[in-house]
Structure 1
């Protein structure tokens, strides 16, 4: 039986940040026969244009909603320390580049922590390189920053990003994060409970029953 759980996300998606603790718990509880595949949905394409003030205020409002509903921590200094851009593809590329070294989840976690807790801007390549350098230190040089920098702008990374963007659109229209379970070629949208991994797990297990 071929079983894949697709996690459709964006490293700069604030709801993905809110869901992160529950997602980690769900992954730990999944049956070993399920393969997890991350799919970068890409919230916003490359742009050098500053984000309009109204959009900044709207997104900051989303943060406060998530903070209230889920207890997620945010550092609102981000909006005062940076020139925000509606641009998440660089962060998605960083995750793909890190995956070539087996550090996909570590990169996602580091980007989210840098963005939401340290008020850094993942739209900037320099920030992503800084994250990679910290990963290199944390992994005792098992993660290679020079290789990451090369992969970040590689043609193969862009090709993979476009593949994931197209796959995300074909799998779901429900935004990020989303879970889609493929069982022998059949696709099932899995409900997300932001505060309890057991909801999604129970639904997944029912789909595995012949």
Structure 2
């Protein structure tokens, strides 16, 4: 089986831009998706919302909406982006993704749900209460999610960030998102997603051309470290 490595951050706007491509890739037979959260806004890079930050991200968000049709809600533009008490921290939502993957193989579902919660609903996805609610919305059992989250928080998530950044360096990626196709023989090829923004079906078709046809038993159901740059 081939693997699509997705190096991303849940608070990266251009990762939200490629979310429809990941959904389309999830349905390609013979292809699995490996998630590598890079910790763009973790540790010393955590930050509070400020008017300056809002001014910085708005042009990117408008460009993303124009190129991809991805929705942005008023609760995000006029709520979260004006809430100077909100803190952006990549670690808790990444831990939630790891927990959802461990519990039910639903890390990608959680990543998409987090993005919708952030960019459409304007929710604080670094808050554990919000993460618990999002897990419940996905149908994950509350106690099991809490236990997995607590076990994977802290050092386990930091180790995941280190491994993800190693992947980024290994493939010569410049930031988030970076997508890399790994064939069954271990060959790696970085994918330029720019031509496919807003065209998930074309992206899936391109992947099918590169992924060997899966055997029947393999066909299973599927879905800059310093900041984002324009496409």
| 1:159-178 paired onto structure 2 within 5 Å | 159-178=159-178
- 1:40 matched to which residue of 2? 37
Using the TM superposition, give the Cα deviation of residue 148 of structure 1 relative to its aligned residue in structure 2, in angstroms.
3.5
Using the TM superposition, give the Cα deviation of residue 108 of structure 1 relative to its aligned residue in structure 2, in angstroms.
0.9
- 2:22 matched to which residue of 1? 23
- 1:96, 1:161 within 8 Å by CA — same for their partners in 2? no
2:11 counterpart SS class? coil
Question: What are structure 1's unaligned runs of at least 5 residues?
Answer: none
- Cα distance between partner residues in 1 of 2:130 and 2:7: 23
- 1:64 matched to which residue of 2? 62
**Measured at CA, do residues 67 and 204 of structure 1 come closer, stay the same or move farther in structure 2, by a change above 3 Å?**
closer
- Cα distance between partner residues in 2 of 1:15 and 1:148: 28
Cα distance per residue 1:56-97 (max 9 Å; x no partner): 211122112212222221121221245344532222222112
- 1:41, 1:169 within 8 Å by CA — same for their partners in 2? no
- Cα distance between partner residues in 1 of 2:145 and 2:182: 34
Runs of 4 or more above 4 Å deviation: 205-209
Question: What are structure 2's unaligned runs of at least 5 residues?
Answer: 213-231
TM-score by length of 2: 0.74
2:173 counterpart SS class? coil
TM-score by length of 1: 0.80
Cα distance per residue 1:109-161 (max 9 Å; x no partner): 221121111111223333223322333xx35x388333233234254343233
**Measured at CA, do residues 149 and 180 of structure 1 come closer, stay the same or move farther in structure 2, by a change above 3 Å?**
closer
**Measured at CA, do residues 106 and 3 of structure 1 come closer, stay the same or move farther in structure 2, by a change above 3 Å?**
closer
- 1:191, 1:203 within 8 Å by CA — same for their partners in 2? no
- 1:55 matched to which residue of 2? 53
Q: Highest relative contact order (Cα 8 Å, sep 6+), 1 or 2?
A: 2
